[in-house]
Chains A and B, each alone.
Chain A
Amino acid sequence: MTVVTGFLGSGKTTLLGRVLSEPSMSNTAVLVNEFGEVGLDHHLLRRVDERAVLLGNGCVCCTTREDLVDALLELLDLDQRGEIPRLDRVVVETTGLADPAPILHTVFMDPVLQHHFSVDLVLTTVDAVNGDLHLDRNPESVKQIAAADKIVVTKTDAAGPEAVRGIISRLGAINPSARVFEAAFGEMDADELFRRDGAVSRAASGATVGEPHDVGGTHSVSLTFDGAVDWTAFGIWLSMLLHTRGEDVLRVKGLLDVGEVGPVVVNGVQHTIHPPEHLDRWPDEDRRSRIVFIAKEIRPEELLGSLEAFRGLLGARPLSLGAGHAVPSQ
């Protein structure tokens, strides 16, 4: 399952229209919130109304999207009864203002869906012309960037190369772990876009660039540890952090050396953590832990200081990767 999110008018539908017309995407179902002006022509198109059910503590990211549960169960039913061609993938398109976290929460928490669907990646579109404006004005847009595994910068043809460079650098500052693509006129290679390599390969190369960035109250920090980390202790630390400060932790992503043959893939958006995967081997030669935190209202020093205090339990000390420089919001 792929979640496609992006700012209003940033070209989500155009991009989907192009990508879905490719033969390799024929067994893909699409869930959209509104049939926009750009008509998507696809035999597995479903419309869902955003219906959110707020749970317990009232945090927005821990809501269950009932509409999505119904739509996905219906697809599952059709698929298993053989009434539609075998389903390879579901693409969920959100509204421009939607926070992607509830979608992940819905899939991970539903007693049926969690066994049938997994979230491959979150794709966010940003338009090169108005992206800066959205990021300045709209806190949801920062969340969408933080939650992304891949970011597509659209309308690069309409914006000057200067503006495109500016927005890409700003996106990198908010979310150093995401891969950034450029797409003029919605031209994109579907396989490239939907291939699930985000969690591993990007954490590998992206995190090492790691610099503490400060983008209008949102900080990101990449760090590693000087040895293998006790997975139980890390789970205690992270679950505690997410319980108390979950709404401020926009993203946690990376590979963790837990002293086993392969690393553990950690991937979380706000309170919602992907089921951690224990890999059989490292994706490349570098066998160090590398993990990126994107947070608002939490300074990188606080996170590092906290992990430092937990070093006795973790069995390793945290090290910040790279020297930092701030990229001010414009």
Chain B
Amino acid sequence: MCVLCGQDFVAQVHWTDRHLEDRARAAAPGSDPVAYQGDRRRDRAHRVVLTNEILRHYGLKLDDWGGSKYVLRDRKGRSEIVQDLGSLWPAAERLAGRAPDPLDPALRETLLDGQPLSVAGW
């Protein structure tokens, strides 16, 4: 970890982040770095919104943390910092006490209902 910026050096890019990595590498020298950063931020914000649709079923919530990591929180105030979707699900399993399973009929119902659960305070 870098002591100045608090960021880990990420040796392994998760496959779901690969397109961003590829785009960064494909960018021609001299191209606008701000445009890429904008894309990246939009992508991360979009991912947070979508992931929270699922996580609310488990009483969890994800936030972007400084554009470099995500923070996963439960309602008791416990939190974990995760790097990507690869480390998100194990963390969600620890906090929720059960494995998040997309095949779980109860999760399917929550998603199909589409009714936001009453999440007080959030």
Please list the residues of chain A having a beta carbon within 8 angstroms of any beta carbon in chain B.
109, 111, 114, 230-233, 235-237, 239-241, 243-245, 264, 273-276, 278, 298, 302-303, 305-306, 308-310, 312-313
Contact = CB atoms under 8 A, between A and B. Distances in A.
Interface in B33-73: 43, 46-47, 50-51, 53-54
16 contacts: A231-B19, A236-B47, A240-B89, A240-B101, A244-B89, A264-B19, A275-B18, A276-B19, A278-B19, A278-B22, A306-B103, A306-B108, A309-B108, A309-B111, A309-B112, A310-B111
Q: Which 5 A-B pairs have the closest CB atoms?
A: A235-B16, A243-B89, A309-B108, A239-B85, A273-B15
B15 to A, nearest CB: 4
Nearest to A234: B16
Interface residues of B, number: 33
B12 A276 contact: no
A246 to B, nearest CB: 10
Contacts of B111: 309-310, 312-313
Query: What secondary structure prevails in chain A residues at the interface with B?
Result: helix
A235 B102 CA distance: 12
B11 interface: yes
Nearest to B13: A275
Interface of B: 11-12, 14-16, 18-19, 22, 43, 46-47, 50-51, 53-54, 85-86, 88-90, 93, 99-103, 105, 107-109, 111-112, 114
A309 B107 contact: yes
A192 B70 CA distance: 46
Contacts of B102: 237, 240-241, 244, 306, 309-310
A273 B43 CA distance: 20
A245 B15 contact: no
Given A235-B16, A236-B16, 14 more contacts: A114-B12, A240-B85, A243-B99, A243-B100, A244-B101, A245-B101, A264-B19, A275-B18, A278-B19, A303-B103, A305-B105, A306-B103, A309-B112, A312-B111
